Amino acid sequence: MAIPIPTDRVEVRNRPLERGFNACLLRPSDFASSGPEFEVIGAFNPGVVQTENGIVLLVRVAEQPVERRRGFVGLPRWDPQSQRPVIDWTPQDEVAPVDVRVVRQKRDGLVRLTFISHLRVLYSRDGRTIEGQSGVHLEPGNALEEFGVEDPRITRIGDAYYVTYVAVSRHGVATALASTRDFKQFDRRGLIFCPENKDVALFPERIGGAYYALHRPNGATPFTKPEIWIASSPDLLHWGQHERLLSGGEAWDLGRIGGGAPPIRTKLGWLEIYHGNSKGEAEKNVGTYSGGLLLLEGENPRRVLGRRGQVFVPETDFEREGFVPNVVFPTGVVQNGDKLLVFYGAADTFVGIVEFSLDEILHRVRPQ
């Protein structure tokens, strides 16, 4: 016979997590543009990792053309010959807006971004303040990154740091891998998940002799609602044994669902803070992005032990107002004793930092 859960406990488990320290850590104005023809419109979705020398952030910086030409739309891309971003000035009547981020070319139905992104290295001693920028940039490096590199996640495995990031090009949205030991030099390993796939987060250790990753296939034919998948690899480069892990479909995650920060091991299993998006088929706006909790078995991360949706929602002005309003997009976690510092993109414009109680999180997501 099942023991009923008291109503007040159910309500607590379904409320947003209680926030401790919470601040807007970085703004577009904190960054110089790549050149006078561009302006920074967003600094967000940071990869984050704890090192012996403090916390390293790899921040996505998005830029758009400064110039406005009557009757034209400026669409940036990376030029491999000049090794810098250039602008394709396209007649306005040849494209149709999809949303604030994307236009569709009328002649062939293909899309282009209205901005281009690259990644920059920053440092923090405590995660609550930024010590400064290193000057190191991870920029597009080849034709498969022509429209930008985006949304990094950083995982330490052994004595190296592995960065998964989104590579955007005319061939689609894929995921690439780079590694580093010092965040000064990066060894690019190439694509590890081909289009359309993103939101790849690596587990920080081998499990049963294999590496594991969460990923998000995004097929053009909608046979299914959005899903998070899991895969394994012998070497971080060749991935197989793909399997659906989690599906969206509730009101808060019916538009998109994907991995957020790399999983962390806890006393109950692997904790994953993931994201969902509420956009329905008939909606014209981008929808709201929120965070949820997922608990996976420690020695078999293909097994879901617990789940709790929409416990991290846009609340502050900098989360609700920006290039894409109403977005919290978790991409990095640092554990500090019984607290978690969660780093996230806010409104596709800012880097936010929020502190949560690990005990409260585990209470919310633990099996009942």
Among 112, 134, 108, 132, residue whose Cα is nearest residue 121? 134
Task: Say yes or no to pLDDT of 21 above 90.
Answer: yes
**Confidence (pLDDT) at 185:** 96
In a domain, 276, yes or no: yes
Q: What is the mean pLDDT of residues 176-196?
A: 97
- Cα gap 28→47, rounded to integer Å: 17
State pLDDT tens for residues 68-116: 999 999 999 999 888 999 999 999 999 999 988 899 999 999 999 999 9
State which H helix or E strand residue 166 sits in: strand 160-169
Task: Report residue 12's pLDDT band, with 50, 70 and 90 as the boundaries.
Answer: low
Q: What average pLDDT does the chain have?
A: 93
- Cα gap 304→312, rounded to integer Å: 20
Q: Lowest mean pLDDT: which of 128-132, 178-182, 219-223?
A: 219-223
- Cα gap 326→278, rounded to integer Å: 10
Gyration radius of the chain over CA positions: 20
**Confidence (pLDDT) at 283:** 66
Q: With contact defined as beta carbons under 8 Å apart, do 103 and 112 qualify?
A: yes
Q: How many domains does the chain have?
A: 1
Task: Say yes or no to pLDDT of 6 above 50.
Answer: no
By the 10 Å C-beta count (0-12 exposed, 13-18 middle, 19+ buried), 75 is classed as buried
**Confidence (pLDDT) at 281:** 65
Residue 231: partners with Cβ closer than 8 Å, 6 or more residues away: 212, 213, 215, 239, 240, 241, 242, 243
In a domain, 299, yes or no: yes
Q: Identify the domain containing residue 339 by its residue range.
A: 7-365
In a domain, 229, yes or no: yes
**Confidence (pLDDT) at 221:** 77
Domain CATH code at residue 184: 2.115.10.20
Structure tokens at 227: 């899903």
**Confidence (pLDDT) at 81:** 87
Please report, rounded to a whole number, the percentage of residues in the chain having pLDDT higher than 70. Answer: 95
State pLDDT tens for residues 334-357: 999 999 999 999 999 999 999 999
In a domain, 268, yes or no: yes
Give CA angle at 256 (255, 259), nearest 5°: 160
**Confidence (pLDDT) at 301:** 98
Task: Report residue 10's pLDDT band, with 50, 70 and 90 as the boundaries.
Answer: very low
In a domain, 31, yes or no: yes
The CA–CA distances, whole Å, from 264 to 17, 210, 288 equal 18, 16, 25
Q: Which amino acid is at 340?
A: L
Task: Report residue 363's pLDDT band, with 50, 70 and 90 as the boundaries.
Answer: very high
Q: What is the mean pLDDT of residues 117-125?
A: 97
Q: With contact defined as beta carbons under 8 Å apart, do 113 and 168 qualify?
A: yes
Q: What is the pTM of this model?
A: 0.94
**Confidence (pLDDT) at 9:** 43
In a domain, 223, yes or no: yes
- Cα gap 312→2, rounded to integer Å: 29
**Confidence (pLDDT) at 7:** 40
**Confidence (pLDDT) at 286:** 84
**Confidence (pLDDT) at 2:** 35
In a domain, 2, yes or no: no
In a domain, 1, yes or no: no
Residue 121: partners with Cβ closer than 8 Å, 6 or more residues away: 56, 57, 58, 133, 134, 135, 136, 137, 138, 183
State pLDDT tens for residues 251-283: 999 999 999 999 999 999 999 999 999 987 666
**Confidence (pLDDT) at 199:** 97
User: What single string gives the DSSP state of each residue in 85-116?
Assistant: EEEEEEEGGGEEEEETTEEEETTT--EEESSE
What is the four-CA torsion angle of 315, 318, 324, 329, rounded to 10 degrees? -60
Q: With contact defined as beta carbons under 8 Å apart, do 176 and 194 qualify?
A: no
